[in-house]
Structure 1
């Protein structure tokens, strides 16, 4: 938080868990569409819900 790296998300469930730990309880689909996320490199269109592609 506050610019601190919270880890690496490998799928939308990882992202949702990082957000939950930061106090934002969003399901994976809502997290993928959130304007709060600054996607770098690939984004949610390259991930499936289960992280397999």
Structure 2
């Protein structure tokens, strides 16, 4: 089973699309944005999930890196 939260590859504009089970939550420019999107989606302990591969898959680029590769 793959992680339900996906942080997609960095875009040229310095952001990353964030999805939960295929639903777009928004464009993140930082980890703080990702955490806020996840809190709004009902995950109050979102901060602790960012480095848990069971919950979050970082696609393309390095985790926690938002500039274009």
Structure-1-length-normalised TM-score: 0.61
1:23 aligns with 2:3: no
Which structure dedicates a bigger proportion of its chain to helix?
1
Consecutive aligned runs of 4 or more in structure 1 exceeding 3 Å deviation: none
What CA deviation, in whole Å up to 9, does each residue of 1:13-42 have, x standing for no partner?
0010011011111354x2321221121122
Question: Aligned partners of 1:12 and 1:40: how far apart in 2?
Answer: 14
Q: Select between 30-39 and 3-12 the one with higher mean Cα deviation.
A: 30-39
Question: Number of paired residues?
Answer: 45
CA contact (8 A) 1:19 1:25 kept: yes
| Unaligned stretches of 5+ residues in structure 2 | 1-19
| Unaligned stretches of 5+ residues in structure 1 | 48-53
Q: How do residues 1-53 of structure 1 correspond to structure 2 at under 5 angstroms?
A: 1-26=20-45, 28=47, 30-35=48-53, 36-42=55-61, 43-44=63-64, 46=65
